Structure 1
Amino acid sequence: MDTYGRSGNDSLAGVGDTADLSALISRATRAGKGLPPVERWNPDFCGDLDMEIMADGTWFYLGTPIGRMPLVQLFSTVLRKDADGKTYLVTPVEKVGIRVVDAPFIAVEMSVTGEGAGQVITFRTNVGDVVEAGPEHPLRFVDEDQTGGLKPYVLVRGRLEALVARPVMYELVEHGEEIEVDGKMMFAVRSRGETYPIMPAERLKRLSA
């Protein structure tokens, strides 16, 4: 029996002959420490796994939260989002699809150094990634139609983004300033020499009135 109380001969739902979760964990572990080169691997697609990353960053397997953070962190290192818009767990010998409600990661902390054009904004994700917003890790801001709110995302690696948690978002916008972007005044933040528009300055004034 593995740590989930399933026998080693049980196959994953919808995955076919990729063996059980413990085997997937073993292969992910053997893929290497740190961040394996998942972008360079091209294994066969083995089906979809009943695994889902919820909007708050919680990972579920077979409808049950995965409570072991080291296991979540392990799986996060072999995540890949492909051009088809789907997210997969990828090892050298298999590729299995998983579901992601919003973004696979959550930015749970941020720090700011410098100011003006020299400002650098650094984020830490819920699985331990640390990235500096900038050319390699751009920020984007999306209007949330349901609430009228704002959802910032930062690119972590490949096509994988982190949703900036709401408390961190409030901290982030405190570092915003009015900057002219393409001839239009925008409320924006700067990091590593890049400017990331949040909203038109006029809209901010209306919201603040």
Structure 2
Amino acid sequence: MPERRPPIEAQGQSLADLAAAIEARGESPPVDRWNPRHCGHSGMRIARDGSWFHEGSPIGRPAMVRLFASVLRREPDGSHVLVTPVEKLTIDVEATAFRATQMTMAGEREQRRIGVMLDSGDALIVGPAHPLTVIETAEGPSPRVAVRFGLEAELARPLYYELADIALAEGHEPPGVWSDGAFFPLVP
């Protein structure tokens, strides 16, 4: 059976092509409107590196991971759940639910738009709807972009370093970057 939401391929795409692919993909399932009773723990975990596990074993099928990722949300108390119209199961998340693994951009300074590809096969444009923040963690600064339903994606270090180079070259104080009409400081 073919996937209903195949991954968006960002490699080699222009920002305009990526934005069109995001638009064509449409909305995620409305997990923010589903409120079934809590049924327990899923036995699943998302490791710090983005790997998904079920009962200690890696989930090896990328399509299965994408399916689970599509019904994931973060609760107001900070916990993560997999939710369908009929059940809600807790899932452990060691850092963030997703990783931003690729990046493309167009424009400069205030006219810049930054697109990122997530390890879940989704993509987004950094901006007011998907703000970029940097928080301090025990492992050091963690650059994150808001995805949906309270979920975040941590930027891979090379992406963060590329943005830091841009911020330093542009001389903003505090150091930061513009995307989609908004300015995002790159310091916690």
Question: Which TM-score band (shorter chain)?
Answer: 0.7 to 0.9
1:5-154 counterparts in 2 under 5 A? 35-146=28-139, 149-154=140-145
Q: Which has the higher contact order (CA 8 A, sep 6+)?
A: 2
Three-state SS of the structure 2 residue aligned to 1:80 is: strand
- Structure showing greater radius of gyration is 1
- Provide the C-alpha distance between the structure 1 equivalents of 2:61 and 2:27, rounded to a whole number of angstroms: 18
Q: Which amino acid aligns with 1:137?
A: H
TM-score normalised per structure 2: 0.81
Three-state SS of the structure 2 residue aligned to 1:67 is: coil
- Provide the C-alpha distance between the structure 2 equivalents of 1:55 and 1:172, rounded to a whole number of angstroms: 22
- Post-superposition CA distance 1:30-82 (Å, at most 9, x none): xxx96211101111100112100000000000101101000000000000101
**Conservation of the 8 A alpha-carbon contact between 1:72 and 1:127:** yes
Q: What is aligned with 2:161?
A: 170
Q: What is aligned with 2:174?
A: 186
Percent identity over paired residues: 43
**Conservation of the 8 A alpha-carbon contact between 1:34 and 1:77:** no
TM-score normalised per structure 1: 0.73
Give the CA deviation at 1:128: 1.1
Q: More displaced, 51-60 or 169-178?
A: 169-178
**Conservation of the 8 A alpha-carbon contact between 2:109 and 2:177:** no
Q: What is aligned with 2:147?
A: 156
The alpha-carbon distance between structure 1 residues 197 and 34, as it changes in their structure 2 partners (threshold 3 A), is closer
**Conservation of the 8 A alpha-carbon contact between 1:139 and 1:155:** yes
Three-state SS of the structure 1 residue aligned to 2:64 is: helix
Q: What is aligned with 1:16?
A: none
Q: Which amino acid aligns with 1:77?
A: S
Unaligned residue ranges in structure 2 (runs of 5+):
5-25
- Provide the C-alpha distance between the structure 2 equivalents of 1:44 and 1:144, rounded to a whole number of angstroms: 32
Unaligned residue ranges in structure 1 (runs of 5+):
1-28, 180-184, 201-209
Give the CA deviation at 1:112: 1.0
Q: Which amino acid aligns with 1:157?
A: R
Q: Which amino acid aligns with 1:112?
A: M
Number of aligned residues: 162
